[in-house]
Structures are given as structure tokens and as C-alpha cells.
């Protein structure tokens, strides 16, 4: 079945970097874009952007430029989210989600299980 | 900051019908499909409704979606305890050139 499996929780100090992985299985990885969604503690869902898994070209939403980098490794069907210069406010669960239902659609199916990134000194 | 507005909470007793609204604008709901997601406590969101009113395989027909103008609604009929979750609407926004989520609604089964 179509599945996205993310890497485990991370505890980082302010100023450090983190790289979250999202391994896809059950479908042709390069056929669908991969999205990243953030959920801060007790808050709603926030779309961070997406990456074209065929070309590797990323698109970042407002507020997610500069310190956030999306990448893919098609040889292992895996997408990555790297966040540098971590701040306390980056503490959140980060989800990857396969784009579904059309390029200009808010379809995300399926979702990874989420990766909790905690930034604390 | 969410562009789509939902009531923060909704509740009902088992068997009742609960409706959740999602209010947007001409650049999102007014011109694009609406999707709904269910997030059970401590889990990842799950696609519940796509293209305004379509259910993915495996989603009970107790869940239904509708859209009119710049608003959309999710209805849960025959409410069950396992429906207790957060529900989010989402739609593509032409002005932002990206998808936007609703503020989320917590459904409680009394």
C-alpha cells in the first residue's frame, strides 16, 4: 500500500540544524510532488511548501524561505526537510504528505506519521 | 495564519448529526475544490473528503461534504465516539499560489 515513513523525533539546541526524512513506498516516487506541513504544539496545520520529486525543484510558502530546504533522493524514494539555525519557535511536528488530486489542489494523501522536532537549550 | 475560518469546536451525542462550516473567499473555496482532513488525537491527519464531496475508499458514508459559493461544510451523521477528533478544511488559494488550511474544529462526542 502507499505509505510514507518519517524519521524519528529529534531534540536539538538553538542554532543547530536538523534533517527529517520521509521514505515513500507503494507507488512511483517521481509521479507525485511531496509536500511538507508543520503543526506547532496545540496549533493547526500550516503548509510549508512542496518539492517536484521529478526535477528536485522546491517551492516554499511564505515564512519558510531561507532556513528551510527541501530535497529528494529518487534512488531511495526519499524526501528530506532540513532546517538550519533552529529556534525555539521551530518546535513542532513536521509531516510529509504526497500531493494528490491535481497540482492546484489541496489534496494530501497519504501523510507520514510525523516527526517531532524539539528545540531547547 | 489560516485563511479559511472554522468554528473552534462542535459537539453532539452519539447518533446525532454534527455540521462543521468552513468559510473562505473567491480566491480559494470560491474557485477551487475543498478537501477535509480528520486528525485523531496523537495521529497524523487523514484525507476524509476530496473534491468537495467525494469520499476516499474506506471512509464511512456517515461523512459528507458540500460547497456553496465561498463556504463549505462537513457533516457527520450518526455520530460515534471514534469520530472525536480535529477536523480541517483545505483549498488551493489562487492569490497565494498554494493550499491553505482552515483553523480547525475539535469535535467532541458527549
Annotate A69-110 with DSSP letters as a single string. EEEEEGGGTEEEEEE-S--GGG-EEEEEEEE-S-TTS--EEE
A102 has pLDDT over 90 = no
Confidence of residue A101 (pLDDT cuts 50, 70, 90): confident
The pLDDT of B25-37, averaged and rounded, is 97
> What pLDDT, in 10s, does the model give residues A44-73?
999 999 999 999 999 999 999 999 999 999
Q: What is the DSSP string of A15-74?
A: T--EEEEEEEESS-GGGS-EEEEEE-TT---EEEEEE-TTT--EEE-TT-SSSEEEEEEG
Nearest chain A Cα to B3, which residue? A46
- A58 interface with B at CB cutoff 8 Å: no
DSSP annotation of B32 reads S
> What pLDDT, in 10s, does the model give residues A22-37?
999 999 999 999 999 9
The rounded percent of chain B whose pLDDT value lies above 90 is 97
Identity of the residue in A46, A59, A110 whose CB atom sits nearest the CB atom of B101: A46
Tell me whether the omega of the peptide bond preceding residue A110 falls within 30 degrees of 0, making it cis: yes
Cβ contact, residue pair A106, B91, below 8 Å? yes
- CA A78 to chain B, closest CA, distance in angstroms equals 19
Amino acid at each position: 500500500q502507499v505509505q510514507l515513513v518519517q524519521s524519528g523525533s529529534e531534540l536539538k539546541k538553538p542554532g543547530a540544524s536538523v534533517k527529517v526524512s520521509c521514505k515513500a513506498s507503494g507507488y512511483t516516487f517521481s509521479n507525485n510532488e511531496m509536500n511538507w506541513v508543520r503543526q506547532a504544539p496545540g496549533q493547526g496545520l500550516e503548509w510549508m511548501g512542496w518539492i517536484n520529486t521529478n526535477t528536485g525543484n522546491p517551492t516554499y510558502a511564505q515564512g519558510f524561505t531561507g532556513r528551510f530546504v527541501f530535497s529528494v533522493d529518487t534512488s531511495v524514494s526519499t524526501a528530506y526537510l532540513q532546517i538550519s539555525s533552529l529556534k525555539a519557535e521551530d518546535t513542532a511536528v513536521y509531516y510529509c504528505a504526497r500531493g494528490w488530486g491535481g497540482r492546484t489542489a489541496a489534496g494530501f494523501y497519504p501523510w507520514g506519521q510525523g516527526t517531532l522536532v524539539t528545540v531547547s537549550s | 495564519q489560516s485563511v479559511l475560518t472554522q468554528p473552534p469546536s462542535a459537539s453532539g451525542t452519539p447518533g446525532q448529526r454534527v455540521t462543521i462550516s468552513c468559510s473562505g473567499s473567491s480566491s480559494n473555496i470560491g474557485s477551487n475544490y475543498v478537501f477535509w482532513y480528520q486528525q485523531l488525537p496523537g495521529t497524523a491527519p487523514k484525507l476524509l473528503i476530496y473534491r468537495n464531496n467525494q469520499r476516499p475508499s474506506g471512509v464511512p458514508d456517515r461523512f459528507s461534504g458540500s460547497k456553496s459559493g465561498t463556504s463549505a461544510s462537513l457533516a457527520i451523521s450518526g455520530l460515534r465516539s471514534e469520530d472525536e477528533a480535529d477536523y480541517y478544511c483545505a483549498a488551493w488559494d489562487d492569490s497565494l499560489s498554494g493550499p491553505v488550511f482552515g483553523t480547525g474544529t475539535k469535535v467532541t462526542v458527549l
